[in-house]
Each structure stands twice: as C-alpha cells, then as structure tokens.
Amino acid sequence: MSSNSAASRKVLTKDEARALIDRDRRSFIKKVIGGVFAGSLLMVLEAGSGELPPAQLPGVRGREYGFADHRFAFVVDINRCIGCGSCCVADKREYNVPDHAYRTWIERYLIAEDGEVFVDSPDGGLHGFKPRTDIDKPIRDGFFVPKLCNMCKDAPCVQVCPVGATFKTPDGFVLIDYERCVGCAYCVQACPYAVRYIHPVLHTADKCTWCYHRVRRGLLPACVNACPTKARKFGDLNDPDSEISKILRSPEIITVLKKEMGTAPNLYYLGARQEVM
Amino acid sequence: MTELIGYVFPNEHHVHWSFMIVLYPYITGLIAGAFIMSSLYHVFNVKALRPVSKFSLVFAFAFWTCCTLPLLNHLGHPERALNMLITPSPTSAMAGFGYIYGSYGILLIMELLLVYRKTLVELYQRSSGALKKVYWLLTLGVPHVTPESEEADKKAIKFLAAIGIPWACFLHGYVGFIFGGVKAVHWWFTPLMPVVFLLSACVSGIAGIILLYILIMKYRGEEPDAACLKSCVKYLWGFFILDLTMELLDVGIHAYLRVEHWHIVEGLLNGPLHTSFWIMQLGVFSLIPFLLLAWMSLADVKPRLLQLSAAVVSVMILIQVILMRWNVVIGGQLISKSGRGYSAFHLEFLGKEGLLAGMIIMALPLVILYFLSKILPLWHSSSEAEA
Amino acid sequence: MSKGPKTHLKRMGLVVLGVVALVVVGKLLFTPGGFGRYGHYRPGAIDDEVQRPLVHETDASCDSCHEWDASFHKKGKHKVVSCEFCHGPGGRHVKDGKVVGHLEVQKGGEINRLCLRCHDGHVRARPQGGKVIKTVLYPNHLEKQAVETDHLCNQCHLVHAPLEYINAAKKMFPMVKEGENVQ
C-alpha cells in the first residue's frame, strides 16, 4: 500500500490534517475524493504512530501478563440484544471470516401463543434481520440470542483433537494452532454448540477466540466493542469491580447452553428462555 | 441426498465428514473381518476354511494398504497427517488410530511373510538379479526352510494370528468408538457403537471373501470348495444375526428410553434417513439376506445354487454394511445441534470427495490384490499337504 | 553365521524393534520445541494468536483526527454505537498513524438501511418498551412528520448524535413537540 512514487505522496502532520479537516471538512473530503490530493490513499500522516487505543480492560497493560491473574468470562444479556448484527459485522471484519462460516451469529426466536417456536438466523445475522412475514400466528415472545464460542472449562473439542492443535491456554481460552491442525474436523463434530467450522482458505479448524489478541492488548473483543446495547459483556472474574463479576455474583438467573453436555462453559446467558438451545 | 429441514445452526449447512469418512470405516471393517476369517483357520483350526485362509490374509493386506487414502483425501492438510504420530493427544479417541493401524499393518506383514515363507523361498531360488535381492529380503536373509523352521513358523503364525484377533477387533471397535464417543451427536453417542461396528465389520469381511472367492474361482474355471463355502455361509449367518441384533438394539434403546434426544433421532430416521435406513438398510438388504442365509445354512442346497445364492447374498450384505456406515456417518451429521432441524447432504460425483473418487479408492485394493496374487499365490496348490 | 530354525524369526523381531526405535526417534525429533509446557500443545501457538494484527480499534482512536464528528458522537445518544460499525475498521484506515485507506460513508438509501437495521419496529424480536432501543415504523415515521417518504433519516437526525437537531429545534419551536411527536 505504501507509496512507490514520492511525488504523489503528500505528507501531513497530524495537526495539519486536523486543521484541514476542521477548516473545511466537506471541501477537504471532496478534494480528496476529487483527486486534488493525488493518491490520497498514500497520504502519510506523521506522528502518533501505531499506539494502541486506551485500554478497555483494566490490569492487562503495563505489566507482564500473568496467566493466573485473570479469569475471563463472557455474559450475553438476551434482553438487551436488538439483533442489529454489529457484532457479526465486527467479527467478520476482524478475522476476514469467509462467507458462510461463522465465528459468531445471532438467532431470532419467535414463540407463538400456542408454544410453537420459530428460529432463524439469515446469514447468521450478518446483515441484520428483516421482519418475518411467514408466521401468521400471534406471537407471545420474541428475542435474539447471540452465539459464540462457549470457552468450555471441559471442552470437547480440546478433548478430541488428535494432534493437540486445539488447546486450552492457562488463562482459559480455547485456541487453535493453525500450524499443526490437520483439518480432520473431529472437533467440528464434537462441539455441541456448532461454533466450529473448517476454514475454506486455511483448511484448518477455526472458531471464535473471544479475540484473544485484543484481550491481551487490554481491549475488549471486537463484538463486545461493537455492541451498541451492552448485550455482550466481557470481563475478568478476578476483578471484583468488573461488571461481569457483579452480574455473576448477583441473584440474577444465569444459565449456560446445553448444561447436560457437561462442558462447563465460560459463556453465560442472562434472560435465556427455556426454548434456547 | 437430503434436503434442509427446519432450523440448523449457520455452521451446519455443510456436512464436514463426507463420503470419504463413510468409506474409511467400511475399509477398516473389511480388513478386520477378513483377518478374523483367516484367523479362524490359523488359531481355531476351522479346517473347512483352509481354502480361503491365505486369500483372506492377502485380501486384508490389500485393503490395509488403501485404508488411509480416504482419510488423506479428506484431511484439510494431508501433508500434516504424521502429526497424528508425532503428537498424538492422549485424550482423543482418534489419536490412537495411527498407532493401532500401523502396528496392525506390521502384524499383517509379519504373518504374511511367515505364511508365505515357503513360497518366498521357492521364488528366491527361481529368480535372479534384482528380484532375487527382493526375495532375499522378504525371506529375511534366510532363504531356506527346514522341517524344524516350519514347525517354528507354525507356532509363530498361530501366535501372531492369536494376538491379531483382539488387535483387529480393537482396530475396528476403535473406529466405532471414534463415533460412539461424540456426545454432541446423539445418533452416534452410544456404547453399542463399537460393537455394531465390529460385528458389521466381520459380516462385511466374510461377505467380501465369499464373493471374491466365488468370482475368482469361476474366472479360473475352477469350482469353489463346497464345504468351505458352506461354512463361510454359516459364519456369515452367525455374525449377521449378532450384527442385526445389535443394530436393532441400538435403535431400540434410543426408541424405548425416549429421552429428550430420541425425538430428534426419530425425526432423522423417519425423515431424511427413512429410505436409506428403514427401507434399505434394515428392510431389503437385511431381511432378504437374512432369510437366504438361514435357508442356505439349514437346507441341503445344491452346490451350484449355493454358489449363486452365496454370491447374491454377499453382494447384498456388502451393500447393507455400506448403507449402515452411510446412515451412521452422514445421518449423524444431518441432525442439527440446534435440535430443531436437519442439514442437507448431496453426494457429488466428480468432487474431491465425490462418488468417483470413492469408487477409485475402493477399486484400488482390488488392483493391488491382483498384483499381489502374481507374487503370492492366493490358493493352496492341490499338492500342498494340509498344514 | 549359523542359521538355526529360528534365525529368520529373530531377525523379524529385530526389524520390528528397529521400526519401533525409528518411530520413537522420529517422534522425539519432530515434536515442536516446548510442546507440553502448558498442556498437550505447542506453546508458541499462544504467541501466534497474540500476534494477530488488530483490525478494529476503538472509538477513542478516531478522536484525535476527527474531533468534530467525535464531539457530537460523544454527547449524543449514539455514543453507544461504534464508529467502526458504521464506517469500517480503523485498521484499514489508519496504520502506524498513517492514513492507508478510505472508510465507507453511507449515502442515500444506504443511510436509511443502516438506521433501520437497529430501529426498524417491524422486526418483532426486539426488546420492547423502548428502554434498550426506540424503534420506528418505516415509512409511518416519516408520514407522521408530514414529509415525503423518500426523506433520508439524516435529513432530520444528525447521524452521529441523532437528537441533536431535533432537540435544538424543540428549543427554538416548542410546539414541534406536540404536533409532530412520534410513537
């Protein structure tokens, strides 16, 4: 992406850029689009190079990362999810997830007066939800359920991986070694939550990682960062002040998915109706 | 060939274990079954099976050489397949396969070299040049036999065959466990799975031997040994009774216990699998062979009729077993983990894991068998004394 | 060398032992370094995952350059909506303090689609009561405001602070509130 012809490159300091943007934002943009600043894509702004945005998770940055210091957990509040799909969009961009593969997705549940349950998830909710017109029954309850990796304490995928390419880190994340995975898909079969898939380009298993690379930089997972309603919450249980700690210690009814599988997820749900699978 | 029904999770639109993974347990089953056939003679001294005892062994070996092909074709990274041997995970039901399969191959080769030792020595003496070197190697540098060495060989063969039986059972029961140990797939998750796999393995192995025995003999213009055929048929019947009992028990337990998951399994069997399970696997291809086998085993059937019906029954049973593999492997994956629907599967013809690739993989062992038969005579020559 | 009746059997045993030794050596040789330090896996895989480049930043990363837009965003109702959701990830826009790519800016009908993705009241499964999200029915909402239904949402709502203009208008013309209220 960087320039190969110095002539077409316009170097601006950050202050200059800001002054420009502030002085005449629209005409500036128009000039840029109109090519007045030829090759604006190559425009280089000095200063502020590559620093991280301010930390979102306390206690991760500025010291050596101790595996034992953190116990991360994820809470999904079903009563707050509006089904906008911001999380899915963020996730797809963060990992360049191929089409028809889903690290995370949203399901729409509509429960009719007579108890019939209608579930759908068009493109995993990536493009949001259109109104459903195919149900002509009165609906008594409706809600969205975001799904992602459960980060099981006793993960079946880790158990069945024949080569140790799916593993649990000491701080409780289930990750994949893309260099050793043979792509046998046994983990895909073993996951009760269907969060795994075979990556069509890498030809290895792949799944949600709770954005381990962001967490280790003190940032929230991309989907949590993108969620406009705080339906997705992420935090450290070892930090008694985190929202996660407070929720999981509150008298709220907290459930996990498919408890009977004995997987002991680290992903908890608030407000999950019994129909949620 | 099934259609999508109800709601399935977004990642479940694709069935990951395709036709190749149907073939893989099918081939290991043939190996295990054929080996057990030959061991019936070598260990349990079932004299009637002597005519097919050598053939069974070569048959098992030919299929053994091709057993990993469907797996390698299926893997996302076949070039990393050896990771299974380098870092096998002690907790994985799949990790042991490499070692079990490998050691089983060593055992097969050892037994073959001993069973064919006399032949190899003769071949060494007759050949010259590079080929002679090869035979020298195959006789382990001792290209002569004495009565004492033959006696030692017989004991060694018996020993190898004896450990080979549990090992073959292990090999295939283990393959069943790979499926039976997946708690997330309710159609697989049963302790009966290894048993069902093992028994169907024996059944398919015996059927394969019978069919090829009859065909090859006919091709050579000879008559298959009537007594041998009759006992093969009886063994087939016996194993088939056990196999069918276990298959029915498996469904029966699911159906009778009626736990939560039965309803989704029921929907599978009565929906997408209706034809391939009830009508084909348990109907046509079980009932007819079962009745025919009973008749062939109990009645005094004329040799020619026996040959014909044995061939027909063997073909049907070979189909029954592959149907069973299909219904287990593909069927299990059709069930959505959402509990609310069934995924779709379409077998392609030309694809990487398509029907054609499968047919080639299934034909390859037969080609290998043909070439092996050029070196290792499959049948006892009439002059050979009974061992 | 004398060849007894069992010489070949012994050799066979030796060959098998040789194969076993080969497997053991191969296994030791090819096992990645450090394997098993934390568990049955390559510890380097954790580092690989940590090294994964950031694609999304946070809203705070846009402040320094887009002060003007950010200032509205911060004080409006949309402060909870991530800039990067509407515009695309910062990692594709700015790298090491350098602008490396354009982000998308919705125009025309795209804007309505964007807004309705979150605010469409026809989608039934949304939380009710307006505590989490206030929804509108399209095009009723526009009809209620007595405008053509081809109006774009951003003609009345500042996208970065959707009530900015409306509140300002309300202050100026308190009657707007009564006559053209929506629900």
Nearest residue in chain C measured CA to CA from B105: C16
Please check whether residue B386 lies inside any domain of the structure. Answer: no
Please check whether residue A121 lies inside any domain of the structure. Answer: no
pLDDT at C119 over 50: yes
**B97-108: pLDDT as tens digits:** 999 999 999 999
Bridge partners, A121 (sequence order): none
pLDDT band of residue C98 (cuts 50, 70, 90) is confident
Q: Residue A231: give the domain boundaries.
A: 9-97+147-270
Please check whether residue A113 lies inside any domain of the structure. Answer: no
> Taking residues B245-254, what's their average pLDDT?
94
Nearest residue in chain A measured CA to CA from B260: A260
What are A182's two structure tokens? 């043979």
pLDDT band of residue B68 (cuts 50, 70, 90) is very high
Please check whether residue B368 lies inside any domain of the structure. Answer: yes
* B97 interfacial to chain A (CB closer than 8 Å): yes
pLDDT at C181 over 70: no
What are B198's two structure tokens? 């093992």
A190 contacts in chain B (CB < 8 Å)? 182-184
pLDDT band of residue B379 (cuts 50, 70, 90) is confident
**C134-177: pLDDT as tens digits:** 999 988 999 888 888 888 999 999 999 999 988 988 888 875 44
User: In chain B, pLDDT over 70 holds for what percent of residues?
Assistant: 98
- CB-CB under 8 Å, C31 with B85: no
**B158-176: pLDDT as tens digits:** 999 999 998 888 888 889 9
Shortest Cα distance, chain A CAs vs residue B172, angstroms = 17
pLDDT band of residue A226 (cuts 50, 70, 90) is very high
Q: Tell me the average pLDDT of chain B.
A: 93
Shortest Cα distance, chain B CAs vs residue A228, angstroms = 23
Nearest CB neighbour to C30, from listed B86, B142, B152 = B86
Please check whether residue B384 lies inside any domain of the structure. Answer: no
Q: Please tell me the total count of domains within chain A.
A: 1
pLDDT band of residue A18 (cuts 50, 70, 90) is low
pLDDT at A205 over 80: yes
The half-sphere exposure of C27 on its side-chain side, counting CA atoms within 13 A, is 15
pLDDT of residue A139: 94
Nearest CB neighbour to B16, from listed A162, A198, A277 = A198
Phi first, then psi: what are they for A200, rounded to 5°? Answer: -65, -15
pLDDT at A52 over 80: yes
pLDDT at A20 over 90: no
CB A121 within 8 A of CB A186: no
pTM of the entire predicted model: 0.91
User: In chain A, pLDDT over 90 holds for what percent of residues?
Assistant: 79
* B110 interfacial to chain C (CB closer than 8 Å): yes
Shortest Cα distance, chain A CAs vs residue C68, angstroms = 7
pLDDT at A151 over 60: yes
pLDDT of residue A40: 34
Helix (H) or strand (E) holding A197: strand A197-198
Lowest mean pLDDT, pick from A3-7, B265-269, C129-133: A3-7
Residue A220, helix vs strand vs coil: coil
pLDDT at A275 over 50: yes
Chain centre distance of CA A96: 12
- CB-CB under 8 Å, B106 with C27: no
pLDDT of residue C147: 86
pLDDT of residue C97: 81
Shortest Cα distance, chain A CAs vs residue B76, angstroms = 4
Nearest CB neighbour to A21, from listed C39, C52, C65 = C65
Q: Give the Å distances, CA to CA, from C25 to A47, B80, B99, B330, C19.
A: 54, 18, 15, 39, 10
pLDDT of residue C106: 93
Q: Please tell me the total count of domains within chain B.
A: 1
> Taking residues B37-51, what's their average pLDDT?
93
Q: Where are the domains of chain C?
A: 54-105, 107-125+132-177
pLDDT at B318 over 80: yes
Q: In CATH terms, is domain C54-105 a member of 1.10.287?
A: yes
CATH code, B337: 1.20.1630.10
Give chain A's count of helices (H) and strands (E): 8, 13
pLDDT at A142 over 90: yes
Please check whether residue B379 lies inside any domain of the structure. Answer: no
Q: How many B-C residue pairs are in contact by the CB < 8 A criterion?
A: 46
> Taking residues B204-221, what's their average pLDDT?
96
CATH code, A46: 3.30.70.20
Q: Residue B19: give the domain boundaries.
A: 2-373
**A184-193: pLDDT as tens digits:** 999 999 999 9
